[in-house]
Structures are given as C-alpha cells and as structure tokens.
Amino acid sequence: MTTATPSPEMQRVQKEFLHRFAVPADALIRAPGRVNLIGEHTDYNGYPVLPLAIDREIRIAAIRRSDDQVRLHNCRRAFGERSFALSEAAVPFTLGDWGNYAKAAMIGLQDRIPHPARGFTALFDGAVPPAAGLSSSSALVVACALLFLHVNEVQVDRLELAELLARAEQFVGTAGGGMDQAASLLGRPGHALKIDFFPLRVRPVALPGAYRVVICNSLIAAPKTESALLEYNRRPLECRLAVLLLCRYLSHKTGRPVSAQRLADLAAIPLTEEEAASVLGPNPLSPAQLLDRLQMSLPELLRILDRAALPTPADGFKLLPRYLHVVHEAARVQAACQALEQGDAEAMGRLMEASHASCRSLYEISTAELDRLVEIALEHGAAGSRLTGAGFGGCTVSLVAREKVHDFIAAVTRDYYETFLAKHKPETMENGLPQDAIFATDAVAGAGLIL
C-alpha cells in the first residue's frame, strides 16, 4: 500500500533525516497503532477480535544500504541508537529494549529475503504512546518489516505478513495472538476489523458515523519488565492448561480422542458451564492438583507445553475464570459486530461495559485507575467504555456521540486527570497532562510505504 503525499509529521521526519545524514531518505514508512473495541485476550485462544487502526502511528525515514548492517536512530532522545548486522539479529538486546522490535521483524522475514540481504539506516519517530495498550510495539515491528521488505525488493501478501509478524514478535517475550499486527497492516478508514485467526481472516465492519472513538490513557504504564511479562504470559498458559483438561474430559465424555490447541478448537463440542466448572474449578489449582487431574507427570506436561519449566503463580492456576472470560468475550465480539451493522450504539455500549467487568473480575487485567476511568466515562455520556489492550495499565476506549466529544474530553480531564489521578497518583501529573493523554480518533488505513 502506498500513499502519494507525506503528512506534515512525516515531512518533519524526512527533514530531520536529511539534516542528520546529509542525504535524502529514499523510503518513508508509516504503521498505525490500534485500539481494540472489544475482544480482549481472545485472539491467541482462536476467537475473533474487533480492533481498528488509529490516527497515531510509527514513522520511519530511511535509506537502503549496500551491506548487511542495520542502523537505528530515533527522534526521541529517550531511545538511543542501535546497530547490528543482519547475521546478529537473533541475539537480543536487553529485555524491553526498543531495538528488539526491529530484530523481531528481521527474524520473522529471514526466510523470505534472498541472500545476501541488504540492511538500512533508519530514523524513527511516532505518536503511538508506549506502554499504553495501543500496540506501539507491534506498529514498530510492522514498520520495520515493511522497510526490510522494501529495501530488499520483496513483496509478501498482507494477511501472510500479519501471521509471520505475530509469530516473530514472540522474540521480544510476549505470547500474543496476532491482532495487533493485522490491525496495523490491514486497517480500513471508517471501519473496525473483525479478525478471525488460524487461519487469519479479516472482515471490515462499518463504524456508526454519529459516534467517535475516544481513547483515554490511564497514565499507568503497562511495562515490559520481566515481572510484567510473566504476569501477561500467565494468561495464555492458563488457557492452554484449561484446553488440556477439557480435552481429557471431552475424550471420556464422547468416547473418542479429543485434541485441541486452543479454546476455540473446542467450540463445536457441546459443553455446559456446569461441566466446565466441574473440570476447571472451582478453586485455583496447585501444580499437584493440575497434574493429578491431567493424570500425567510434570515432564510429560512440560513436553506437551514445549516448556523447560512450569511457572507457578503464587495464587495458583485460575483456569475456570480465564475460560469463562474467553468464551463469553468471544460471544460479545459476535454480538458487537451485529450491533454495529445495525447502528445500535446502545447495544454496543452495553457489550463494552460487560467486557470491562469480565476483564476486571475474571481475567484480572484491570487496575483501580482503569476502573475509575471507565466509571467517569460512563458518568459523562459515553455509550460504552472499557479497558483496551493487554491490561495492567494503559488505556480505555469509549464510544461517544460526535456532538458530545468536546464536553466529554473536558469532563474526563477534570474528573480523572486533575482530580482522581492528581490525588491518588500525583507523580503521574508532576509535569502536567501529557499530550495525547486523551484524544478522539477515527479509523484509518493500514500501514504502508509513502512515495
């Protein structure tokens, strides 16, 4: 996908590149972030999601090199220069380093690029808030991938590329499902995207013209620290363990072997909530209880999971609430598509509220700040509001009537940022309200090369 005219923001990056390197950039790349309207933590379970690409993006100005060196520079001083040879891409920088996202793109495409591959010198900038649940990291991977393909004159189908990059991003340590890359690559103006997985399928769903999407940053960062990654990756593990237990139960129930990798793989087999509760609950399971129910040894389980160890949460494995969230959230995604197609913003709002309650109580990925931000949004006229992204911080997404957006932003700024946050987390407001802490967005086109 190409765009003829660079935006003013891209033109600034283009100018800065010329100033720094004394040569004009021969490639301009943009990759938008995304916000998920509904469908949280369903993607890696094989169920659909409903995101849209937003008008905040990662931007790159670059030149192709004649060697295999990659040189990464950033307009933002907080992100230092990084460099590596393509042959060294598989060796990560320290955990959480921004250069790892570029390396992830290189690794994901290494089998698609003819050797010897060419590197590039690139200058990055962007307006996707980091650690906010708006997929700044995946937008960075997508932008790097498109640049790497461009400088080596290779084309890859967008759906295929989204799947490749979803797997590649696991290099940075997160076990996601592919929503973020697909939304950034395949965004469509005026539409959300119903994205199904395994295999990846995308269907545009028109957004109601009388409403806008408003994103509110809680200013509680969702960090990429080791402890945060362990907490995030716990959820996919608990879902996988739930699948193993349900397969064992259903094999006995049906009298035939039942095998599955994801919860969605079991959707065609009738299973009541009472049955699920008897298999997965009611209490958190210890490793010993888990192994006893599975009737297998720890080495056998680790072999199935392809793991060297079984990280055990201090409060045990919470399989039943994770299962209930996922299957109900999947049903909400289907209902949300119908509500949007019928122009029923009130029904969509109710689904968003139910989603947030489930994320808070069953999947346990909300925070006190996100909960309060949702409450304030609903108090001030949002049709619906919920946390968005992986959770543990980041943003909320609200559906707001166009004529109410200005007053809504003013009211949320007053009641959340200037009152609640200033009282309970004053350090977040020491330098005033950050730019783009709260903003309205419309759905935009997916990532591409700008000529």
Please identify every residue annotated as catalytic: 180
Please answer whether residues 34 and 185 qualify as being in contact, where contact means their C-beta atoms are separated by less than 8 angstroms. Answer: no
Please answer whether residues 40 and 176 qualify as being in contact, where contact means their C-beta atoms are separated by less than 8 angstroms. Answer: no
* DSSP letters spanning 299-358: HHHHHHHT-S-----TT-B-HHHHHHHHHHHHHHHHHHHHHHHTT-HHHHHHHHHHHHHH
Tokens 């006893």, residue located? 292
> Rounded CA gap, 347 and 88, in Å?
51
Task: Write the CB contacts of 435 (distance below 8 Å, at least 6 apart in sequence).
Answer: none
Cα-based angle 99, 101, 102 (whole degrees, multiple of 5):
70
Tell me which amino acid residue 381 is: G
> Rounded CA gap, 307 and 261, in Å?
15
Counting Cβ atoms within 10 Å, is residue 349 exposed (0-12), middle (13-18) or buried (19+)?
Answer: buried
Name the strand (E) or helix (H) holding 64: strand 50-64
> Rounded CA gap, 103 and 173, in Å?
13
